[in-house]
């Protein structure tokens, strides 16, 4: 776990309200390496919001999509606020993990999102690689947070 500590060390300086950005490596081979996985693990282990950015973005328009397991998820309020601020539509996409995960990229392709939002509660007990796989498959950034209002 020495490698994880080395990746996590710079995150100790993050303050409340900061967003930790994890960009997917340009070289797909680097995604298979341990450093990328460690960077995601370290970011998600922090208390800050995390934004994962795929190496290739395909959209500059589309709705803000909150991916939730139930309609009480706090990220729905944030998605609504962000969508309103950005002049976009907010969509709540209810999924059941792990049953719906294989078909999620196809569902998202039909929606053509601008941004995906997930709460930390949604990710609890799930593989952290799911986040980068979701960003890569949908070609849009994924914001993970428990905030209910826009981040300062």
Lowest-confidence segment of 10-14, 35-39, 48-52, 95-99 by average pLDDT? 10-14
Output the pLDDT for position 10. Answer: 65
The model's pLDDT over 90-125, given as tens digits with 9 standing for 90+, comes to 999 999 988 888 889 889 999 999 999 999 888 888
**Tokens 């995390």, located at residue:** 50
Local confidence band at 150 (pLDDT 50, 70, 90 cut-offs):
low
Mean pLDDT, residues 146-150 taken together:
70
Global pTM exceeds 0.85: yes
């Amino acid at each position: 776990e020495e490698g994880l500590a080395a990746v996590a060390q710079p995150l100790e300086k993050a303050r409340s309200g900061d967003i930790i950005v994890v960009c997917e490596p340009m070289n797909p081979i680097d995604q298979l390496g341990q450093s990328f996985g460690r960077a995601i693990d370290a970011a998600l282990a922090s208390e800050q919001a995390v934004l994962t950015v795929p190496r290739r973005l395909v959209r500059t328009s589309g709705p803000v999509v909150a991916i939730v397991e139930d309609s009480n998820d706090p990220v729905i309020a944030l998605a609504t606020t962000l969508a309103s601020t950005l002049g976009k539509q907010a969509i709540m996409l209810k999924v059941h993990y792990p049953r719906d995960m294989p078909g999620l990229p196809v569902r998202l392709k039909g929606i053509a999102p601008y941004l995906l939002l997930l709460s930390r509660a949604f990710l609890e007990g799930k593989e952290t690689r799911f986040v980068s796989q979701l960003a890569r498959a949908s070609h849009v950034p994924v914001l993970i947070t428990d905030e209910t209002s826009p981040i300062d």
